[in-house]
Amino acid sequence: MQHQAPDFLIVGTQKGGTSSLYNCLNQHPDILAANKKEIHYFSMYYNRGADWYLGHFPKRDDNQLSGEASPFYLFHPQSAKRIAATFPQIKIIIMLRNPVHRAISHYHQQYRREHEKLTMKEAFEQEPQRIKAGWKKMLNDEQVSGSKVQQCSYLKRGEYLEQVERYEVHFPAEQIYLSSSEAFFSDPAAELQKIFTFLTLDNSFVPEDLWPRKPGNYGDTEPEMIDFLTDYFKPHNEALFAHLGRQFDWL
């Protein structure tokens, strides 16, 4: 048995349930976990080379799969291109969360980690200027790690359409599975059955542990912030739904 390329990647979204999904997938008897969930090779550590990346995956038989989940891959503007150039046959799993709830969860995570000192209102209002320089570097394919664009992109990460389209440019539809975290958490067994089918695995398997990982309960958010986020994301959500030809219950 040799180190092999990963068979699937969960590329995002951040704060969208990727830890819970990855935990469930790794309970399948035909999936062997990587040595860590988030390797971030195609976003933060691409300069370390493919051998470094492949070393994170277990040696396994041909009938066994392995993958990783780095939610920065969806947002990073170079990741889809890099993945396709390295592993053109890989399968991509995308989970999108209501961007209003995602932004609030993201803010609280950064505040808890002491990366964020501003109030929620200040952070959202000042985001465009705070992330401008880092986003420009990422677009120019310059190395970015630990910057404000990674930490404080509360709003921009919820503009999903351009992120999804980057993967559609580089991968055929049959290699992309896209769903919502709301669908996964409302009926994880049913959603996992679809994903196991997508991965061409036995879809009758039901993990024993379906408990959500990293749940966030931050109490009430000020109504004015909910209204602001709802208005901000409405046109972005509508554009996404029109593109996908289906709608998530986010409005």
- What residue ranges define each of the domains in the chain, with the CATH number in brackets? 8-244 (3.40.50.300)
pLDDT for 251 = 66
Integer Cα distance of 178 and 2 in angstroms: 30
Q: Can you tell me the mean pLDDT for 164-169?
A: 98
- Assess contact for 96 and 158: CB atoms under 8 A: no
pLDDT above 50: residue 8: yes
pLDDT above 80: residue 176: yes
Within 10 A of 141 (CB to CB), how many other CB atoms are there?
12
Q: What residues contact 55, with CB distance under 8 A and at least 6 apart?
A: 3
For CA atoms 211, 214, 220, 225, give the dihedral sign.
negative
Report the run of H or E that residue 126 belongs to, with start and end: helix 120-139
- HSE-up (13 A, CA, CB side) for residue 229: 25
Q: What is the pLDDT of residues 182-221, one digit of tens each?
A: 999 999 999 999 999 999 999 999 999 887 765 555 568 9
Q: How confident is the model at residue 2 (pLDDT cuts 50, 70, 90)?
A: low
| pTM of full prediction above 0.85 | yes
pLDDT for 230 = 97
pLDDT for 209 = 84
pLDDT above 90: residue 46: yes
Q: What is the pLDDT of residues 107-149, one digit of tens each?
A: 999 999 999 999 999 999 999 999 999 999 999 998 766 678 9
Q: Can you tell me the mean pLDDT for 84-111?
A: 96
Q: What is the pLDDT of residues 19-30, one digit of tens each?
A: 999 999 999 999
